[in-house]
Amino acid sequence: MSDKNIKRSEFDDVLKQQAKLQRSEKIKNDLPLYLMMLPGILYIIVNNYLPMFGILLAFKRINYAVGIMKSPWVGFDNFEYLFKTKDAFIMIRNTLVYNAAWILLDLVVAVFIALCMNEIAQRKIAKVIQPIICFPSMVSAVILSFLVYAFLSHSYGYLNTKFFADAPVQWYTTASYWPLILTIVHLWQGAGQSSVIYMASIGGIDKSLYESARIDGATKLEQIRYITLPLLKPMITMMLLLSIGRIFNSDFGLFYQVPLGNGMLYETTQTIDTFVYRALMVNNNVGQSSAASVFQAVIGFVLVMFSNLAVRKINPENSLF
């Protein structure tokens, strides 16, 4: 071996040692950050990944005597009940229509609240209003059902005693009223929390853009139209894509607890989640319930992928990946 090759080999060894020392030093310096990440990583593994083992339940007929692993495989039989039942059309229609309408309404209302909050000059007032509009999202479904009942009760409800005293409305036996009722309750509960995301995005916009617009004579509406909304577009697109992924899921508490599980309202309150719960309570079939969850997850994943592909074709900068 020539002296030149020996020197090159020694130089490569020195570089490798230096790189190894740099990696060790970096790990040592970043160790506190890794320790801070550890609880979150453990939570994600336990809460998001380990439960994926339950996918097996969707393809088995569970026999508790022999356990999950030894229970017989049934293929896609557990999925059939979702489409063969007489309520299949109703629950799928309600789930899709409610979510499709609420995706648009949530976007409009949340952005509107964020724009209004951004225009409040007194920061102290804004700090008081923000917790108030976010409070409904922390109300449990059970408490929410009692609040709604206080308004809609036939004998003692606020609406019947205040506005319909001569002819009380049978709110809990008339299905046609509930699309509007559920929409109002949904927006009241979730719009404030959703607006926080857009408020944070608006807060990150460079203030010099607004100053330049004011110097050029732009009104508040023009500043919102030509500065705020265009710069909010990436966040709006991301939230829409995430919402599309949950279009086959529904808020179980809202659709089951608020109508008080009333069978006369199934035409407008029955969704996939409430149907699965009732089927599980009646039939005690864990496999069928798991099949419904797998169906919702797969369809949601496919919709997100196609929606993101469409966004990437139109504007790659606004896509999720």
134 & 240 share domain:
yes
Q: Which pTM does this prediction carry?
A: 0.80
221 & 141 share domain:
yes
C-alpha–C-alpha distance, residues 206 and 227, integer Å: 10
CATH number reported for the structural domain that contains residue 219 in this entry: 1.10.3720.10
62 located within any domain: no
81 & 171 share domain:
yes
85 & 40 share domain:
no
88 & 30 share domain:
no
65 located within any domain: no
Please list the pLDDT of the chain residue by residue as tens digits (321 residues). 455 555 566 666 767 777 778 887 888 888 888 889 899 999 999 988 888 888 888 888 888 888 888 888 888 888 887 777 777 888 889 999 999 999 999 999 999 999 888 887 667 777 788 788 888 888 888 899 999 999 999 888 889 898 888 888 899 989 999 999 999 999 999 888 889 889 888 888 888 988 898 988 888 889 998 999 999 988 898 888 888 888 888 888 899 999 988 888 889 999 988 888 887 777 777 887 888 888 888 888 888 888 888 878 877 776 767
248 & 218 share domain:
yes
Q: Which residues pair with 60 in a beta bridge?
A: 73
34 & 99 share domain:
no
85 & 221 share domain:
yes
Those residues whose C-beta lies under 8 Å from the C-beta of residue 301, and which sit 6 or more positions away, are 245
86 & 44 share domain:
no
21 & 149 share domain:
no
DSSP letters, 82-128, are: HHHSTTHHHHHHHHHHHHHHHHHHHHHHHHHHHHHHHT-S-HHHHHH
How many independent structural domains does the chain possess? 2
Residue 37: CB atoms within 10 Å: 11
Give pLDDT, residue 106: 92
For 164, the token pair is 């319909």
The range of the structural domain enclosing residue 24 comes to 3-55
| Closest CA relative to residue 191, chosen from 131, 255, 111, 125 | 111
68 located within any domain: no
